[in-house]
Amino acid sequence: MPRPKRDHGIGDMMPKTVLAFSDPGSQRIEEDFQGIHQNRMNKRDFNHAMASMGLLGSLGLLPEAATAQNSSTRGAATPQSAQLSQAHVVVVGAGFAGCTVAKTLRQLSKNTLRVTLVEPNSNFLMLALSNLVLGESEPFAHFTQALAPLTKAHGIDWIQDRAVGLEPQKKTLKLANASTLTYDKLVLCPGVELVLDAVEGLNEAKQTSRIVQAWGNDLELQVLKRQLLEMPNGGTFAIAIPPSPFKCPPGPYERASQVAHYLLTHKPQSRVLVLDANQDLLSNAAHFKRYWAEHYAHIIEYRPDHLVTGVDAKSLTLSFEVQDDLQVQVANVLPPMRAQAIAREAGMANVNDKWCEVNFLNFESRLQRDVHILGDAIQGAPLMPKSGHMAHAQGLVLAKAIVAELSLQLPDPNAQLSNFCYSFLNDHAALHLESLHRYDPKARTYQLIPGSNKPSPAPSVEQGQAAWRWAAQMWDDLLS
């Protein structure tokens, strides 16, 4: 179901039935979205979790008086203090988490808190749903949007440079241009680094663009699309999936579906090999397998326990830990992942030298005071996915915690996080994942709210429509 072509990204492509808002703790959730999700979990837990993040008013689930009271509470979340107005918060990274926390800090502080965003790229890439580019149902331009309107609208100081190091004891951040920033609070949203050296030959293959990952890199997504278009009918497209955990668990399986959807129409003699280092699909396994068997049986072949250990860029040959070598026409090899270098080099990636352990009450590093870490770089709580929506939810919680602390109050001990993640299996039918997580003061971590992560219904057009509405709502929330 291709979308009409527009000039300004997802927000202009979607139906205009979304509810507008300006409160930092809220989102716009359209009625179809509500219908799919709300009726599949305990209503008391759903309401409690959504209210804590300011969602019930926009969902239309609260009586008018309760909605007004909730909005009033959000608008005056904490008393202003001299410490708040004089503080400086530096946010590194303008992804789902970074954009959310920077914007929400300004809103909750009534624009008194100085916020600086450090991000070298001029555009935000909506990685979620961008696999549709490979399926030929959406153009690449629909998934990027400029950051400048966000920073201008909310008075965020934007330094278009890359953070390369920090000295937590001095509370300074070093930039690529050799300048430094001082901070009172530092929020790191560094994302993940692809450990290319874990696969022999992959670094060299990436440098020549013979094998790319396209896992957050907008230019590489276009390279992978070109490779797919140039692949002859009868060729083999292989996607290699690393051991868990990695960024966006459903993403590789959605990508395989989108490539198969393209091949079915344009190159029906071709095939897709899903080479998974894990024992089974990590997301909606039964639904993906059933759909593949019913629609892509002669195209998709799933091979579990296939860990790629080496590649030959010239011949496009893949080597495995156990199985025989395999030659393909297009190789999309995803290596293991870890927190970006800026967090690791500061000694904060203390979990297997890969992930950063945080105090979940305020997402502060367990090792460095006043350094808060969000998103894919952290060692997640039990069943907490590395997803864009989760990073956004963390950003909302952290912004409230920082404003509370700078206003000489304690962070909310009953904070809630939500997660929604959609996967398209063709150009219009989608699956989804959902979960709600509550902070447990005794365990000092987030616990999954029972009943909130029920399996997705079968793939449907309705879920596909909800996915687009989710994207439009998230897009506006992040960048407006």
pTM of the model: 0.85
Domain enclosing residue 207, as ranges: 196-335
Q: Let me know whether 44 and 185 are in one domain.
A: yes
Q: Let me know whether 166 and 207 are in one domain.
A: no
Rounded Cα gap, residues 410 and 425, in angstroms? 44
Average pLDDT, integer, range 118-123: 96
* End-to-end C-alpha distance for the chain, whole angstroms: 27
Q: Which two tokens stand for residue 224?
A: 């992978």
Domain count, the chain: 2
Q: Let me know whether 177 and 275 are in one domain.
A: no
Q: Let me know whether 244 and 127 are in one domain.
A: no
Average pLDDT, integer, range 207-224: 92
The answer, yes or no, to whether residue 414 has pLDDT greater than 50, is: yes
pLDDT computed for residue 345 by the predictor: 93
pLDDT computed for residue 80 by the predictor: 53
pLDDT band at 455 (very low <50, low <70, confident <90, very high): confident
Q: Let me know whether 322 and 410 are in one domain.
A: no
Note whether residue 262 is domain-resident: yes
Note whether residue 1 is domain-resident: no
Whether residue 57 contacts residue 67, with contact meaning beta carbons closer than 8 Å, is answered with yes
pLDDT tens digits for 268-311? 999 999 999 999 999 999 999 999 999 999 999 999 999 999 99
pLDDT band at 24 (very low <50, low <70, confident <90, very high): very low
Average pLDDT, integer, range 10-28: 35
Which long-range contacts (C-beta less than 8 Å, at least 24 apart) are formed by 160-166?
160/119, 160/120, 160/121, 160/122, 161/118, 161/120, 162/118, 162/120, 163/92, 163/118, 163/342, 164/342, 165/342, 165/345, 165/346, 166/342, 166/346, 166/371
pLDDT computed for residue 62 by the predictor: 32
The answer, yes or no, to whether residue 186 has pLDDT greater than 90, is: yes
The answer, yes or no, to whether residue 72 has pLDDT greater than 90, is: no
Q: Let me know whether 182 and 223 are in one domain.
A: no
Q: Beta partners for 192? A: 339
Q: What is the CATH number of the domain that holds 204?
A: 3.50.50.60
pLDDT band at 82 (very low <50, low <70, confident <90, very high): low
Q: Give the amino acid at 470.
A: W
Residue ending a domain, among 311, 335, 359, is: 335
The answer, yes or no, to whether residue 454 has pLDDT greater than 90, is: no
